C-alpha cells in the first residue's frame, strides 16, 4: 500500500491495490535524511564556536528551525486548511490539517525541550515565565488539545468542523509568539533587529541552510502523514461498505 496513492477507494470493484511506493517519495526521503545529516555535521563541527555562549549555542541550529517549522508552515497550514474546510466542506482539508498539527506539535516539543537546555548554562535557569517561552508553551497546549479532540470524536464533518474552528482560533497565538519579544520585556535573544541579523556570516549561512533542511523535512513528513490519513479514511469507508453488503 502506497501512502501517496489513491487506489484504495475503488477496492471493492478492484481488490488488488497497487503496492508500489512512489519513487519520488523514496528520493525525497533519502535526500532529506542526507541533508539532515549534513545539517548536523555543519551545526556541530563546521560552524565556528560562539565566543560568549560557547558550544551550547550550537543547539540554536536545530532549536530555531524547529520553532520555524512549527510556527511557520505547520500551524499556518492548520489555520489555512481550517478556513478551506469551513468554506469547501471537503474532508481532505481536515486530513491535511491534522497531519500538519501533529508535525507542529512534534517540533514545538523539540523547541520547548532544547530551549531550556540552552538557557540553563546561559541564564542560569532551565525555565523562566518569559513571554516568548510562555506563549510557546500555550501554543503547544493548544495543538495537543487539538489532537486530543480529534482522537475523541468519530471521523466525519462534525469533528472536522470543530477542529477547523480550534485550528483557526488556536493560530491566533502564532503571531503573539512571534511578536512577544517586541511587545514585552524579554530575556529571549532577538535574532533579527532593525539593524538586521547580528551574526557571523558563516553562522547566518548555517541557519539559512538549517531552515531549508527543516522545511524539506516538513514537506516529506507531510506527504507521508497525509497519505496515511487518506488511506486510513478510505480503508474505513471500504470496511463499512463490506459490512453493509
Site for another protein, rule CB under 8 A? 1, 3, 8, 11-12, 15-17, 40, 44, 54-56, 58-59, 62-63, 66, 106, 109-110, 113-114, 117-118, 120-121, 221, 224-225, 228, 231-232, 235, 238-239, 242, 245
* CB nearer to another protein: pick between 28 and 86: 28
Contact 84, 57 (CB under 8 A): no
CB of 232 to another protein, least distance (A): 6
Helix, strand, coil content of the chain in percent (nearest 5): 75, 0, 20
* CB nearer to another protein: pick between 2 and 76: 2
* CB nearer to another protein: pick between 3 and 187: 3
Q: Name the residue among 163, 151, 164, 69 with its Cα closest to residue 109.
A: 69
Beta-carbon count within 10 A of 226 CB: 19
CB of 185 to another protein, least distance (A): 26
CB of 8 to another protein, least distance (A): 7
d(CA 101, CA 94) in angstroms, rounded, equals 10
CB of 118 to another protein, least distance (A): 7
CB of 209 to another protein, least distance (A): 16
Q: Which residues lie closer than 8 Å to 111 by C-beta, 6 or more apart? A: 63, 66, 67, 70, 136
* CB nearer to another protein: pick between 164 and 223: 223
* CB nearer to another protein: pick between 16 and 201: 16
Distant-in-sequence contacts of 179-186, Cβ < 8 A, 24+ apart = 180/131, 180/132, 180/135, 181/131, 181/132, 183/131, 184/131, 185/131, 186/130, 186/131, 186/132
* CB nearer to another protein: pick between 84 and 233: 233
CB of 119 to another protein, least distance (A): 9
Q: How many CA atoms lie within 13 A of 238 on its CB side?
A: 16
d(CA 104, CA 76) in angstroms, rounded, equals 10
Amino acid at each position: 500500500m502506497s501512502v501517496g496513492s489513491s487506489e484504495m477507494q475503488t477496492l471493492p470493484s478492484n481488490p488488488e491495490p497497487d503496492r508500489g511506493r512512489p519513487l519520488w517519495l523514496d528520493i525525497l526521503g533519502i535526500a532529506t535524511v542526507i541533508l539532515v545529516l549534513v545539517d548536523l555535521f555543519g551545526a556541530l563541527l563546521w560552524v565556528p564556536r560562539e565566543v560568549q555562549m560557547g558550544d551550547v549555542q550550537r543547539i540554536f541550529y536545530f532549536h530555531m528551525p524547529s520553532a520555524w517549522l512549527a510556527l511557520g508552515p505547520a500551524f499556518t497550514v492548520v489555520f489555512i486548511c481550517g478556513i478551506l474546510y469551513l468554506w469547501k466542506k471537503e474532508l481532505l482539508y481536515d486530513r491535511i490539517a491534522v497531519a500538519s498539527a501533529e508535525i507542529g506539535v512534534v517540533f514545538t516539543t523539540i523547541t520547548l525541550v532544547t530551549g531550556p537546555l540552552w538557557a540553563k548554562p546561559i541564564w542560569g535557569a532551565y525555565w523562566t515565565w518569559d513571554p516568548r517561552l510562555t506563549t510557546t508553551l500555550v501554543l503547544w497546549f493548544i495543538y495537543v488539545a487539538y489532537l486530543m479532540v480529534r482522537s475523541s470524536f468519530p471521523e466525519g464533518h462534525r469533528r472536522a468542523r470543530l477542529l477547523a474552528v480550534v485550528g483557526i482560533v488556536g493560530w491566533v497565538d502564532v503571531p503573539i509568539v512571534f511578536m512577544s519579544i517586541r511587545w514585552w520585556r524579554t530575556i529571549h535573544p532577538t535574532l533579527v533587529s532593525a539593524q538586521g541579523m547580528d551574526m557571523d556570516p558563516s553562522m547566518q549561512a548555517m541557519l539559512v541552510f538549517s531552515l531549508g533542511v527543516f522545511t524539506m523535512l516538513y514537506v516529506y513528513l507531510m506527504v507521508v502523514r497525509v497519505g496515511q490519513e487518506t488511506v486510513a479514511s478510505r480503508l474505513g469507508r471500504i470496511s463499512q461498505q463490506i459490512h453493509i453488503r
